[in-house]
Amino acid sequence: MSTTTIRKLTMARAISEAIAQEMERDPRVLVWGEDVGAYGGIFGATQGLLPKFGEDRVIDTPISESAFIGAAIGASAEGLRPVVELMFVDFFGVAMDQIYNHLAKNHFMSGGSVRHPVVLMTAIGGGYNDAAQHSQSLYGLFAHVPGLKIVVPSNAYDAKGLMIRSIREDDPVMYFFHKGLLGLGWMPSDDWAEVDVPEEPYEIPLGQAHVAGDGKDAAVITIGAMVPKVMAARDRVAQEGISVEVVDLRTLVPLDRRAVVAAAQKTHRVLVVDEDYRSFGMTGEVAATLAEEALDYLEAPIRRLAVPDVPIPYSRVLENTVIPSVDAIADEIRALVK
């Protein structure tokens, strides 16, 4: 019988613990990116790694995202398993070619002979007034291009298991952590995400959605930082007698379409909630899946709630208008079951 130590961890701690455990297990695992060393990562995802593993394995880079993300391509082909941090997902545009034309496609273009076991982790999300170039989610855009696995944890338990699995994958994985879930003292953060986490390493397979809340009147399909907000809205409408199923997708690639369809089959009414832009993204893909595979089960039009195709504005009142709030989610649920 094995004993497992379980502690409450913030998501930031869960992520850095996962990386540390994989670095201990496998000398090929290294970390690099901007301010991942002495600073410990601007959002704490690499906290404690430098003292533990030294400058040979935890490496601060110049502000040269194309070069240091592209370096992960060559390094992984030659035996390393880098975990690379792109400080904010919003900066992807300076390095996208290395990401999507090479890291993502080389395995295919080589007929399977080249592998890039690389985790590209990055901070997403708004809610703290950092405006249009520091508050986006954007995972829908990466999910659109083939060759990248897309992981978006909603809590510390998932964050650890998904990170360990991501590092062990032989494919490039983009790992998106929402700043408002990390449990950073200085950032508004959802306590919901700080949960019990076993000390031992464990994996959560990619492509398996999680039913975060059981319900029968309606289903909300969502991901990342919207999960706790949807759960709060669920509590609120429960008092009005509305029972809501909540599906946390956890990964967009692979997408657990079966779970999406199952939720519709069960509740017949579906709302999709996302912090990414509304059009041509996650909410569209989920709704389309239902229109293809669950049409006969739908008793009401699909509803979508996401950032309404505007850049994230700076001012608090404006940002609060565009990022789905618990209120707005509850309203959508009410409209859905009406």
Partner 1 sequence: MSTDSMPSDELVSLYRTMCVIRTYEDRLAEIYTEGKTPLFSIAAGPVPGEMHLAAGQEPVAAGVIVHLRSDDVITAPHRPHHFAIAKGVDLKRMTAEIFGKKTGLSQGKGGHMHLFDPQTHFSCSGIVGAGFPPAVGAAFAFKRQGEDRVAVAFAGEGAANQGTFHESLNLAASWHVPVVFVIEDNHYAISVPKERSTAVAKNSDRASAYGIPGVYVSGNDVLAIAEAAEKAIARARQGHGPSLLEIETTRLYGHFQGDAEAYLAAGEKDEWRHLDPVPRFRDYLLHSGRMTPDKDQMLQAEARALVDEAIAFARESPDPDPADAFTDVFANA
Ligand X SMILES: Cc1ncc(C[n+]2csc(CCOP(=O)(O)OP(=O)(O)O)c2C)c(N)n1
Catalytic residues: 134
The listed partner (ligand X, a copy of itself, partner 1, none) that binds 337, CB under 5 to 8 Å by sort, is: none
The listed partner (ligand X, a copy of itself, partner 1, none) that binds 210, CB under 5 to 8 Å by sort, is: none
Q: Which is nearer to a copy of itself, 37 or 147 (CB)?
A: 147
Q: Which two tokens stand for residue 70?
A: 């592209």
Pairing of strands 270-277, 303-307: parallel
8 Å CB contact between 124 and 78: no
Residue 90 interacts with partner 1 (CB under 8 A): yes or no: yes
Neighbours of 2 (CB within 10 A): 4
**Rounded-to-integer distance, Cα 309 and Cα 45, Å:** 29
The listed partner (partner 1, a copy of itself, ligand X, none) that binds 279, CB under 5 to 8 Å by sort, is: a copy of itself
Per rule CB under 8 A, count of chain residues that contact partner 1:
79
- Which of 102, 250, 257, 268 contacts partner 1 by CB under 8 A? 102
Q: Of 78-97, which residues contact ligand X (CB under 6 A)?
A: 87, 91, 94
Q: Which two tokens stand for residue 239?
A: 């008092």
Q: What is the DSSP string of 223-249?
A: -TTHHHHHHHHHHHHHTTT--EEEEE-
| Helix and strand counts by DSSP (H, E) for the chain | 12, 14
The listed partner (partner 1, ligand X, a copy of itself, none) that binds 287, CB under 5 to 8 Å by sort, is: a copy of itself
8 Å CB contact between 9 and 151: no
Q: Which two tokens stand for residue 183?
A: 């449990």
Q: Cα-flanking dihedrals φ and ψ of residue 194, to 5°?
A: -90, 100
The listed partner (partner 1, a copy of itself, ligand X, none) that binds 224, CB under 5 to 8 Å by sort, is: none
In the stretch 220-259, what mask flags binding to partner 1 with x, by CB under 8 A?
A: ----------------------------------------
Q: Of 103-132, which residues contact a copy of itself (CB under 8 A)?
A: 104-105, 108-109, 131-132
Q: Is residue 40 left, alpha or beta, with left meaning phi > 0 and alpha meaning psi from -120 to 50?
A: left
Pick the closest to residue 230 from 206, 241, 215, 82 (CA basis): 215
Q: Of 291-310, which residues contact a copy of itself (CB under 8 A)?
A: 291-293, 295-296, 298, 300-304, 309-310
The listed partner (a copy of itself, ligand X, partner 1, none) that binds 277, CB under 5 to 8 Å by sort, is: a copy of itself
- Which of 3, 186, 295, 338 contacts partner 1 by CB under 8 A? 186
The separation between CA 124 and the C-alpha centre of its own chain, rounded to angstroms, equals 8
In the stretch 223-252, what mask flags binding to a copy of itself with x, by CB under 8 A?
A: -----------------------------x
**Rounded-to-integer distance, Cα 305 and Cα 103, Å:** 32
Q: Which is nearer to a copy of itself, 192 or 320 (CB)?
A: 320
Q: In a 3-state reduction of DSSP, which class is residue 314?
A: coil
Q: How far is the CB of 5 from partner 1 (least distance, A)?
A: 28
**Rounded-to-integer distance, Cα 179 and Cα 312, Å:** 15
Q: Of 49-68, which residues contact ligand X (CB under 6 A)?
A: 63, 65
**Rounded-to-integer distance, Cα 226 and Cα 126, Å:** 11
- End-to-end CA distance of the chain, in Å? 51
Place of tokens 């909603």: 154
Residue 38 interacts with ligand X (CB under 6 A): yes or no: no
For ligand X, the binding residues (CB under 6 A) are: 34, 63, 65, 87, 91, 94
For a copy of itself, the binding residues (CB under 8 A) are: 66, 90-101, 104-105, 108-109, 131-133, 138, 140-141, 143-147, 252-253, 255, 276-277, 279-288, 290-293, 295-296, 298, 300-304, 309-311, 313
